[in-house]
Amino acid sequence: MHLFDPISIRSVTLRNRLWVSPMCQYSAVDGVPNSWHLVHLGSFATGGAGLIFTEATAVTAQGRIAPQDTGIWNDAQRDAWAPIVDFVHQQGGLIGMQLAHAGRKASTYRPWSPERGSVPLDRGGWPTVAPSAVAFGRYAAPAALTLDGIAGIVQAFRAAARRALDAGFDLVELHGAHGYLLHQFLSPLSNRRDDQYGGSLENRARLLLKVVRAVRDEVGVKVPVFVRLSGTDWAEGGWDVEQTAVVAGLARDAGADFFDISTGGLVAGVEVPVGPGYQVPFAEQVRHAASVPVSTVGLITTPQQANEIVQSGRADAVMMARAMIRNPHLPLQASIDLGTPIDYWPDQYLRANI
């Protein structure tokens, strides 16, 4: 495999294996994307990325990380996403929507706010929900979801997937990582339920698998469904890579096609051994243990580094975030650096293809 080899997933063929990771922008109003999102995501399309993901896009208003998150819980949001998708397609790119619910990590201030933590109710915040009434760090305590509430979450993901397809998205990704709601159900550190959604791994994975099945049923057989999973909580007694591999296999059987492996996010203040490519071993282990295709992410910053990961078979694709922000046209540059001619330079930029 090479970084610039195409990859086919169901009916979709991606032009290369250098993809744009979901990156929250905290710049929407009432969940509606705007010109910032068009320019942000559109620049990656002109830059030659094989796949572009939206930021974590909330399936309900209650599921937003911050009040400024994008959403896909109503038709106005769907209609605002459509021209962004159209522009990406005009550049020959493909785009996926990451569907998310933040659970107990919802209703927080955006990162550049001078304030931290949960947004109070009288300042535009809202009550949060989780598998159990266990707060994240110093955030406001969530309410434990009822069985009816859990059923509503499944239906919200399903309805969101339909709206994403109606807006023209090529695929969807279910966000089961970074300490958000689906991850909160998976990890024994945040899930202390004693019903069919808590206790055993089978029970803790039940919500994720129900969401996968519901979304697969909604999108049909042609549309790829990705799942993002954290390979570890980086905390004793928490979620780990062995459980990740088991659940990836179960999710594949339930209808998921591809697994986007990251780490962390569930426990505040844990020590993470950050370094170049530090999350690659988790993706590699899941790939081999579960026999599923995976992408990897995390301090992968150069085309050479990304290509080595793919060529060595450690992952099927590479996600980049900060490196793409610094250079949205990094895939075009990578084709030059790696000596791999491509035929999808924008005509307006051909003079730079030297």
Token reading at 121: 């109710």
Report the pLDDT averaged over residues 327-353: 96
Asked whether residue 262 is assigned to any structural domain, the reply reads: yes
Show the domain range for 129.
Answer: 7-352
Q: Is residue 228 part of a domain?
A: yes
Beta-carbon neighbour count of residue 120 at 10 Å?
A: 12
Q: Are 49 and 324 in contact (CB under 8 A)?
A: yes
| Both structure tokens of 313 | 């078979």
Whether 1 is covered by a domain: the verdict is no
Q: What is the pLDDT of residues 44-61, one digit of tens each?
A: 999 999 999 999 999 999
Span 157-180, average pLDDT: 98
pLDDT at 8: 98
Q: Which two tokens stand for residue 14?
A: 């991606």
95 is a domain residue: yes
Q: Which of 331, 317, 275, 315 is nearest to 298 (CA)?
A: 275
Over residues 2-33, the pLDDT tens digits come to: 999 999 999 999 999 999 999 999 999 999 99
Structure confidence at residue 118 (pLDDT): 97
Mean pLDDT for all residues in the chain: 97
Q: How far apart are CA 171 and CA 255, in angstroms?
A: 13
Show the CA angle centred on residue 334, arms to residues 329 and 337, nearest 5°: 135
Query: 70: pLDDT confidence band, cut at 50, 70 and 90?
Result: very high
In this predicted model, what pLDDT tens digit does every residue of 278-301 receive, in sequence order? 999 999 999 999 999 999 999 999
Q: Is pLDDT above 90 for 123?
A: yes
Quick one: CA dihedral 228, 94, 64, 123, positive or negative?
Answer: positive
* Confidence band, pLDDT 50/70/90 cuts, at residue 146: very high
Per-residue pLDDT band at 1 (split at 50, 70, 90): confident
DSSP conformational letter for 348: G
Active-site annotation, residues: 180
Give the pLDDT of residue 289: 98
Residues 263, 231: contact at Cβ < 8 Å? yes
CA 315/CA 294 separation, integer angstroms? 6
What is residue 303's predicted lDDT score, i.e. its pLDDT? 96
Find the mean pLDDT for residues 80-95: 98
Find the farthest-apart pair of alpha carbons in the chain and give their distance in angstroms, rounded.
Answer: 63
pLDDT reported for residue 354: 82
pLDDT over threshold 90, residue 98: yes
Query: Is residue 63 situated within a structural domain?
Result: yes
The count of domains in the chain is 1
CATH code for the domain in which residue 71 is found: 3.20.20.70
Residue 2 lies in a domain: no
* 248 domain residue, yes or no: yes
Residue 134 in domain? yes
Q: pTM score > 0.85 for this model?
A: yes
User: What's residue 81's pLDDT?
Assistant: 99
For residue 343, give every residue at least 6 positions away whose Cβ sits within 8 Å of its Cβ, in sequence order, or none: none
- Residues 142, 208: Cα–Cα separation, whole Å: 19
Q: What is the token pair recorded at 143?
A: 């309410």
